């Protein structure tokens, strides 16, 4: 007998039963599991507290709320059951949603700030209020609605409220400020209750970027908005709000800053001082918004793996993983320390000391003042274990340096990992351990940099939401974690900070405040990220909500073209091309006008598609025409009839191919061949920057060169994806050579060891090496198309789609290749089996587990008639390179490949003659004989 079950409903993009949702009509989704191969949903019924609605449809993602709209504070419990024909499932387990405060008028509270305390440079203030509750009647429920100018941590009767860190997070504070809804029912009691809230600088008043002024970009006063609402069992209510009845006093946090760290005084009664009054601060409550995704939390604790003394005698700790968070240190008795200092860094320098130069001006230092023997009236704190950890800062680090505490052991230190608590949805593995480590590095880089906003780096005096980074990385991000609510919220900030003319700031939230920020690939986040979210989560509302932003960005770029192409003006271009010098990351091989014009064509096409999906037919026609005109101008100005692209750099070919900018088969084939030759002549070292790197493996694969894409992936020399892995990296680096082969830190002033952007190739690993890709929004249809390569014996990708878990895997055993796929109910898949007869077409399957075993595709017979053919034979080319080096015809593999690039069409045996030039007849002749023996 078949079994079919339906999951509890999900409200919008929120997990579990969300508290404080920000809409009166939350959309609903669910997943189905079944072992019935013929099952398909034809209807669903939703039950909301006894009201049942039936809808005849196969839709199960983000379906409209069919009940009376929620009012502020209202709770609703919803169940779902689904039918396939006349066969209905059981009702799902119930899920409950509770609305937040849906209008400014629902707030009786006002922002309050200490009258005297809490100024810039003062200790972090605590705002408090004694709440007296009725006796003789029970508390049915209690909610604390709260937000702050700054970051806050609330306690009730000494117990922490919630587990959020650095709340309310970072948004475009002048336009959007998140508030949280906390269930505090169990923390309250009849009679007196103490409600206290610690305020820190956070992003609101701390240092941000390198602009002037360096801090307090949003305001110079910390402030709290809080509203405690208590409902008694007799139905009566009581509300306590932030007003002049609150008081303030200093906390033990003497200083706190995102970049610089936290200084905490653990000595008793040294900083509290007299209580201060508070003042009401005028602020617009209309900018308050409920969260769309999860908050920042502590997500893992990593133990120290090693404690040792550096060459200078300093105590160092290695946590074995580059991460984001802070050090939790236990000072065990007896200790005679009076001050403990913890400094953080991602790497050690060439002298074996903490490598702090990449931090630039960020101090990244936490300091603790400890009780002395005679402190607190003879209560000897020296004989108590003290746990030292901050709460109002974060650091990017693998290593820590501790001073002031002797005899530290690994058991005394652990790293608390923090970040937005995103639900993991994607996994990948293969037979190559270095590729697996690289993928793990991508995951850790995302975990560290998705800290309320998608930042570029987590360690130095920057940590900003660079648009270019998330533009290239968003497909990978959406595979690895559920980013729907996280990135939808960030896009709302992009819309809020976008200039009236449509220009998109370089960072979101915008703290750089450039006057005319129209940089291609960076501003294109306005069109790319919404499109990715729709593709991966089937949410048309994100396109509807962002459409004006998409259109405005496309229009402002189009308005600045000449004869259809972008000419001049500021551009980041193919940022951090590996050939660019350390002090000039702009100096890319790819022409910036070519890159910018290609980006305009892409954005116009994405805007047209968004218009089509959202029913804006006139806009769809207009932007499709703009995309066509821009492609025509791109070809007219930059592309020859044979497919050569201006500046002849790998990036310009990659984007022309990947974004379908080449109209004729001859141009596409020519561009593919030229890209392949550039990859060959680079010795399979990376030659692309931020723009080209996510595209080059796709461009090679789709033009018939997957073997070259894999050799690019598997190269371990510098620069390459795997070079950092060989250097012990545990996150993706900002530069291909953030650490040089001799172990020294790159001399550039912009060197991060935790930057996710260059890890965007992971999306290609999922789609091509493993073979799992979306073919319709939300993975309603899936493409299974693995492209095996002899260097791998197996690969697998799993992803929790909105419909359920999907996977694609293959393994090679002898001359047989087995392909396996899992398709969730509600989805279908098209399966392209490696080596299959092209005349028979792909296999179409429905939900369930599927397996096929086919012969390993035969490798085409190789004829070594040219140098190009020799390079395409990996083992022979490696042996030939070693032979040529031994005969003095080149310094290394990169040197030989670069010089051989001029002679790809000559016979292999003539290569030594060309490499030797006029002065090496004897060595060339000897090398030619040796090469003939090899071949």
| Active site (catalytic) residues | 462, 734
To the nearest 10 degrees (0 to 180), the angle between helices 693-702 and 665-681 is 120
Pair of tokens at residue 328: 């939790």
Give the C-alpha separation, 576 to 719, whole Å.
Answer: 12
Cβ atoms of 535 and 774 within 8 Å: the answer is yes
Pair of tokens at residue 726: 């060989």
**Dihedrals φ, ψ of 159, to 5°?**
-105, 130
Q: Which helix (H) or strand (E) holds 585?
A: none
Q: Which helix (H) or strand (E) holds 675?
A: helix 665-681
Rounded (to 5) percent helix, strand, coil in the chain: 30, 30, 45
Cβ atoms of 650 and 678 within 8 Å: the answer is yes
b (16+ CB within 10 A) / e for 720-745? bbbbbbebebbbbbbbbbbbeeeeeb
- Residue 488, helix vs strand vs coil: helix
Pair of tokens at residue 27: 């959309």
Range 463-466 contact pairs with CB under 8 angstroms and sequence separation of 24 or more? 463/258, 463/259, 464/208, 464/209, 464/507, 464/511, 464/512, 465/490, 465/493, 465/507, 465/508, 465/509, 466/506, 466/507, 466/522
Residues listed for the chain? 935
By C-alpha distance, which of 118, 128, 121, 123 is closest to 154? Answer: 128
Pair of tokens at residue 49: 């507290």
By C-alpha distance, which of 468, 484, 591 is closest to 524? Answer: 468
Cβ atoms of 325 and 518 within 8 Å: the answer is no
Give the C-alpha separation, 826 to 805, whole Å.
Answer: 11
Angle, CA of 542, 545 and 546, to the nearest 5°: 85
Burial class (CB in 10 A: 0-12, 13-18, 19+), 811: middle
CB atoms within 10 A of CB 885: 16
Give the C-alpha separation, 172 to 191, whole Å.
Answer: 40
Scanning 450-539, the segments in alpha helix (DSSP H) are 467-480, 484-497, 525-537
Give Cβ neighbours of residue 328 (< 8 Å, ≥ 6 apart).
Answer: 301, 387, 388, 389, 413, 414, 415, 416
According to DSSP, the β-strands at 306-309 and 51-55 are: unpaired
Output the CA–CA distances (angstroms, integers) from residue 481 to 270, 513, 560, 736, 800, in the order listed. Answer: 45, 31, 37, 25, 9
Pair of tokens at residue 453: 């906003």
Give the C-alpha separation, 175 to 821, whole Å.
Answer: 46
Report the 3 state secondary structure along 7-37.
Answer: CCCEECCECCCCEEECCCCCCEECCEEECCC
């Amino acid at each position: 007998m078949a079994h079919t079950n339906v999951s509890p409903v999900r409200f919008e993009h929120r997990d579990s039963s969300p508290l404080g949702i920000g809409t009166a009509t939350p959309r609903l989704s669910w997943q189905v599991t079944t072992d019935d191969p013929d099952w398909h949903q034809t209807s669903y019924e939703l039950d909301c507290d006894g009201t049942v609605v039936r809808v005849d449809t196969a839709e199960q993602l983000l379906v409209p709320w069919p009940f009376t709209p929620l009012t502020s504070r209202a709770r609703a419990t919803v169940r779902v059951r689904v039918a396939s024909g006349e066969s209905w499932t059981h009702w799902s387990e119930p899920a409950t949603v509770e609305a937040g405060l849906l209008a400014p008028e629902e707030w009786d509270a006002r922002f309050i700030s200490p009258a005297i305390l809490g100024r810039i440079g003062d200790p972090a203030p605590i705002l408090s209020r004694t709440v007296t509750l009725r006796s003789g009647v029970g508390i049915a429920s209690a909610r604390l609605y709260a937000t702050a100018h700054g970051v806050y941590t609330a306690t009730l009767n000494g117990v922490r409220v919630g587990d959020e860190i650095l709340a309310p997070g970072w948004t475009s504070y002048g336009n959007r400020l998140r508030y949280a809804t906390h269930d505090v029912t169990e923390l309250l009691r009849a009679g007196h209750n103490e409600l206290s809230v610690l305020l820190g600088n956070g992003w609101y008043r701390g240092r941000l970027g390198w602009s002037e002024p360096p801090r307090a970009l949003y305001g110079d006063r910390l402030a709290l908005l809080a509203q405690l609402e208590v409902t008694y069992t007799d139905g009566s209510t009581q509300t306590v709000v932030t007003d002049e009845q609150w008081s303030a006093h200093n906390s033990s946090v003497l200083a706190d800053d995102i970049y610089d760290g936290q200084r905490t005084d653990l000595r008793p009664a040294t900083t509290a001082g007299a209580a201060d009054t508070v003042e009401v601060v005028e602020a617009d409550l209309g900018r308050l918004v409920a969260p769309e995704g999860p908050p920042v939390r502590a997500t893992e604790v990593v133990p120290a793996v090693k404690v040792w003394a550096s060459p200078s005698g300093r105590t160092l700790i290695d946590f074995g993983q580059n991460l984001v968070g802070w050090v939790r240190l236990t000072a065990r008795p007896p200790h005679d320390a009076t001050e403990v200092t913890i400094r953080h860094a991602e790497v050690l320098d060439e002298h074996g000391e903490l490598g702090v130069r990449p931090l630039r001006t960020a101090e990244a230092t936490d300091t603790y003042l400890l009780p002395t023997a005679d402190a607190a009236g003879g209560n000897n704190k020296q004989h108590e274990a003290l746990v030292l950890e901050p709460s109002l800062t974060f650091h990017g680090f693998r290593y820590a340096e501790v001073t002031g505490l002797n005899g530290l052991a690994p058991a005394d230190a652990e790293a608390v990992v923090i970040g937005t608590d995103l639900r993991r949805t994607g996994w990948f593995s293969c037979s190559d351990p270095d590729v697996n480590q690289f993928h793990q590095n991508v995951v850790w880089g995302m975990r560290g940099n998705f800290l309320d906003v998608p930042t570029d780096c987590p360690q130095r005096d920057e940590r900003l939401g660079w648009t270019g980074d998330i533009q290239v990385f968003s497909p990978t991000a959406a595979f690895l974690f559920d980013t729907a609510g996280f990135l939808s919220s960030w896009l709302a900030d992009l819309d809020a900070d976008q200039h009236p003319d449509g220009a998109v700031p370089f960072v979101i939230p915008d703290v750089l405040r450039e006057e005319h920020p129209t940089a291609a690939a960076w501003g294109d986040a306005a069109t790319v990220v919404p499109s990715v979210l729709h593709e991966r989560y089937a949410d048309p509302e994100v396109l509807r909500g962002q459409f004006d932003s998409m259109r405005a960005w496309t229009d402002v770029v189009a308005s600045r073209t000449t004869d259809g192409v972008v000419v001049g003006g500021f551009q980041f271009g193919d940022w951090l091309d590996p050939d660019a010098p350390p002090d000039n990351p702009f100096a890319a091989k790819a022409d910036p006008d070519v890159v910018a014009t290609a980006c305009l064509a892409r954005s116009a096409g994405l805007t047209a598609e968004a218009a089509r999906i959202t029913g804006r037919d006139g806009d769809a026609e207009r932007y499709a025409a703009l995309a066509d005109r821009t492609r025509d101008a791109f070809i007219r100005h930059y592309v020859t009839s044979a497919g050569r692209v201006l500046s002849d750099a790998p990036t310009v070919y990659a984007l022309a191919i990947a974004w379908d900018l080449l109209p004729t088969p001859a141009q596409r084939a020519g561009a593919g061949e030229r890209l392949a030759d550039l990859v060959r002549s680079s010795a399979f070292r990376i030659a692309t920057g931020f723009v080209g790197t996510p595209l080059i493996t796709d461009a090679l694969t789709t033009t018939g060169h997957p073997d070259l894409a894999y050799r690019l992936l598997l190269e371990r020399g510098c620069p390459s994806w795997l070079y950092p892995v060989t250097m012990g990296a545990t996150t993706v680096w900002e530069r291909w050579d953030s650490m040089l082969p001799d172990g020294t830190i790159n001399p550039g002033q912009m060197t991060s060891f935790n930057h996710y952007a260059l890890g965007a190739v992971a999306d290609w690993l999922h789609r091509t090496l493993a073979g799992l890709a979306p073919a319709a929004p939300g993975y309603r249809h899936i493409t299974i198309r693995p492209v095996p390569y002899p260097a791998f014996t197996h690969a697998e990708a799993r992803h929790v789609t909105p419909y359920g878990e999907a996977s694609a895997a293959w393994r090679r055993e002898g001359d047989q290749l087995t392909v396996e796929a899992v398709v969730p109910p509600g989805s279908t898949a098209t399966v392209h089996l490696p080596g299959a007869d092209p005349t028979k077409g792909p296999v179409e399957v429905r939900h369930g587990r599927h397996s096929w075993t086919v012969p390993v595709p035969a490798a085409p017979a190789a004829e070594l008639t040219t140098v190009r053919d020799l390079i395409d034979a990996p083992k022979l080319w490696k042996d030939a390179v070693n032979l040529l080096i031994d005969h003095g015809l080149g310094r290394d593999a990169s040197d030989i490949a670069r010089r051989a690039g001029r002679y790809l069409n000559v016979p292999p045996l003539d290569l030594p003659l060309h490499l030797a030039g006029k002065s090496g007849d004897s060595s060339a002749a000897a090398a030619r004989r040796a090469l003939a023996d090899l071949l």
